[in-house]
Chains A and B, each alone.
Chain A
């Protein structure tokens, strides 16, 4: 049937009233057929024979592309190096596109990706090779969704053909009940799921826009389910490309977080603060870490015995633990008796064995008692003799080591550098209170305040022959364990034993000093 033939013609080509006249048919092929995109009424740009559709202004889109490529390129170069071979899936996609411009752009990105992927990642070596793989996949996804959003038709509604526009006008005229020319009404109301929605008439496209459609002034098109015109992707975002747009921005956020996480991790890991944070949390010193003292590489059972096992506890201990005092007494005055410096070390080694034995026996009460005794002794003729004696005693620096040794002996290990009989300035050293006592004795009965247990002095006091020195009550028992020390002390006593006066005075001073 003739009508059937013309029908078929009408179906597959734009239906035109021209086709109804047989005269025109032979001359159809005279002019080359133009594609619809070539005469598209909207303000769009088409590439690749109409396969790619973008908005007119695309500068910002290229900026977006460059930003993504450069950021990821830098990331893959410096953060992520690996000997991955890049599949080349995109290259096949790319070669299908005819547009010279886009091909150049994509080839650039292809080569950039290849180049950066073929260097070696420090992170991949340090952590796991999955990082560049994941980053790469994410990057490709971002790029893919961006291109899809930018190049696809957002859901443009074709403008009404003149016939349709006429039909619409006719319908409206019929509805209005007028025959004269009147511009079509701007709205038409529709009830959707119980809600009244106004459908607007678009004067540019000459149609009543479907619900949720809007006319984009930049692209000069009505777009279905119009979201917005995005300059960053260089296209409208509508019904057909909204999901790609959403996936683009979502994957871009993930990629940004991914890159930032690794950049920050890199900075922290490489930074000194990060390194020391690690040391603190594992309760190690830099020295131990460098040597690998507690490294498991040394031995299977090798572990850090100082660590509490809990990172939080380690941190708390390191940062909030008690701060020990300084042991070097930087602001203390230096003593004039230099030789006295040597014996104290001997004294410590000698008395070390017995100090522990006697420490528990000597306490503050005994010190006070011995002080009282000394004060009492001060009133005796012994002291009167002693007044002359100090000369002997104080000549210790000249005599040599014996008397000073004795003095130091009496004063004990910690009591150093202060001879008996010399006025001593108050010091922080607790052991020097015995010097103070001696001083007081010399000063004839100044009251003495003892606040320290003075265990060492008491111990030393016991070393000196208690049977020679009249011991105050309560101190007798302290004198028992003095076996081996006698011999040591005997040598120190040699000069004093020569003179009984010396001996007595020394005894008294010894008692005093031991307090």
Chain B
């Protein structure tokens, strides 16, 4: 059976600024996903992502060393070496892909990497329809109704 998915709506998990400007997502469960995914799973994903970002933005020995080396070499060193932040971003990207494959895709959801959305977590909600019947695509959903 061929499954086609149509986008119903997009849910955005907003940033949690209670700890400053560091990248952190709210663990508040959006109501739109009530029936689609268990709260614990989403919460776990968000917490893991938060920990990754904390690691990326951590100000410590390695970051200082990197910064000083970069400054001393007039940032030419970045032509051959990637920053710690970039390394962590790659890890995040891999993690999201893995999560999508394991957890979200079976439930008709899609996580988008926050780096592509200005550090805002986007979850696309797909409506799983069976057979080859054409389904109306709600590409520009203005006010999607929650299921």
Point out residues on A near B: beta carbons under 8 Å.
1-4, 6-7, 10-11, 14-18, 20-22, 89, 93, 140-141, 144, 148, 157-164, 166-170, 174, 190-193, 197, 199, 207-208, 210-212, 224-225, 247
Contact = CB atoms under 8 A, between A and B. Distances in A.
Q: Give the dominant DSSP class at A's interface.
A: helix
Contacts of A163: 9-10, 12, 122, 141
A4 B137 contact: no
Contact of A11 (B12, B19, B31, B97): B97
9 contacts: A4-B101, A11-B112, A162-B140, A163-B12, A167-B10, A168-B12, A192-B19, A208-B14, A211-B21
Contact of A158 (B3, B108, B118, B139): B118
A168 B75 CA distance: 39
Interface string B73-114: 011100000000000000000001100110001001010110
A268 B96 CA distance: 67
Nearest to B70: A243
B69 interface: no
B138 interface: yes
Contacts of A174: 31
A17 B117 contact: no
A225 B17 CA distance: 13
B104 to A, nearest CB: 9
Interface residues of B, number: 46
Contacts of B11: 167
Given A21-B137, A192-B18, A1 B105 contact: yes
Contacts of A4: 101, 105
B17 A10 contact: no
B3 A3 contact: yes
| Nearest 10 pairs of A and B residues by beta carbon | A17-B139, A158-B118, A163-B10, A144-B74, A190-B17, A167-B12, A17-B7, A20-B7, A157-B118, A21-B137
A398 B21 CA distance: 115
Contact of A10 (B9, B112, B118): B112
Contact of A192 (B6, B17, B108, B124): B17
Given A11-B97, A247-B71, A3 B117 contact: no
A119 to B, nearest CB: 25
Contacts of A159: 118
Contacts of A170: 143-144
Contacts of A190: 17-18
A14 B4 CA distance: 20
Contacts of A224: 21
A20 B6 contact: yes
A144 B75 CA distance: 9
A17 B105 contact: no
Nearest to B135: A20
B17 A166 contact: no
Nearest to A173: B143
Nearest to B104: A7
Interface in B38-95: 71, 74-76
A7 B21 contact: no
B84 to A, nearest CB: 15
A20 B143 contact: no
Nearest to B127: A20
A3 B2 CA distance: 10
A292 B101 CA distance: 89
Given A3-B126, A15-B112, A166 B143 contact: yes
Contacts of B120: 160, 164, 207
Among B4, B105, B118, B142, the one with the most A-chain Cβ atoms within 10 Å of its Cβ is: B118
Contacts of B117: 158, 161, 164
B111 to A, nearest CB: 9
A199 B74 contact: no
A7 B105 contact: yes
B15 A210 contact: yes
B33 interface: no
Given A140-B74, A164-B10, A247-B71, A3 B21 contact: no
